[in-house]
């Protein structure tokens, strides 16, 4: 049975959790699958028996790309051909994969050795006075050597 005090599984609830620097997921109580971002219906078994779950924020880098010409929102943040940024797919310790911005790695000198690097969730807050929303990003875990990749 769903907790009547828990927020609905909406994009707004997801954004509010990120603003509090929390990484939530939705666990299907029928099949056990975990989904990020949260959703009201399980894509695996189509059950509506979902519950909120806290995720560890630990992950490994599965894939990435260095972006030199990005969308206008990223250009407005100062990213361009001389200041690229990284976007990647991370596999959370709990299993789900998601697309996120990567920080703490040099987007100018990407290397395949980064694949498998241990990562931790970090939250990028909007600059004071800018408004906007908190973004989920991932950075190398403390002590992880990105050059070591999966061995790190």
pLDDT (tens digit per residue) in 89-140: 999 999 999 999 999 999 999 999 999 999 999 999 887 666 788 999 999 9
pTM: 0.86
- The residue-averaged pLDDT of 49-61 equals 96
Domain locations along the chain: 11-54, 58-151
Confidence grade of residue 70 (pLDDT, cut at 50, 70, 90): confident
What are the counts of helices (DSSP H) followed by strands (DSSP E) for the chain?
Answer: 2, 8
Answer whether residue 22 shows pLDDT above 50. Answer: yes
Burial class (CB in 10 A: 0-12, 13-18, 19+), 20: exposed
Q: Which long-range contacts (CB under 8 A, 24 or more apart) does 129-136 make?
A: 133/15, 133/18, 133/19, 134/15, 134/18, 134/19, 134/21, 135/18, 135/101, 136/18, 136/23, 136/100, 136/101
Answer whether residue 151 shows pLDDT above 60. Answer: no
34's enclosing H/E stretch is strand 34-35
pLDDT value for 30: 96
pLDDT digits (tens, 9 = 90+) for 7-18: 889 999 999 999
pLDDT value for 152: 52
19's enclosing H/E stretch is helix 11-19
- The residue-averaged pLDDT of 139-143 equals 86
């Amino acid at each position: 049975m769903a907790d009547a005090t828990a927020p609905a599984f909406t994009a707004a609830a997801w954004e509010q959790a990120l603003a509090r620097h929390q990484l939530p997921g939705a666990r299907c109580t029928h099949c056990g699958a975990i989904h990020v971002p949260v959703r009201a219906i399980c894509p695996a078994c189509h059950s509506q028996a979902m519950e909120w779950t806290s995720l560890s924020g630990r992950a490994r880098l599965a894939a990435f790309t260095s972006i030199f010409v990005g969308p206008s929102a990223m250009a407005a943040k100062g990213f361009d051909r001389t200041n690229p940024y990284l976007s990647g797919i991370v596999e959370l310790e709990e299993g789900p994969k998601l697309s996120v911005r990567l920080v703490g790695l040099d987007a100018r000198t990407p290397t395949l050795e980064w694949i498998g690097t241990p990562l931790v969730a970090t939250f990028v807050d909007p600059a004071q006075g800018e408004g906007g929303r908190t973004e989920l990003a991932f950075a190398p875990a403390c002590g992880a050597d990105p050059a070591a990749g999966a061995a790190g």
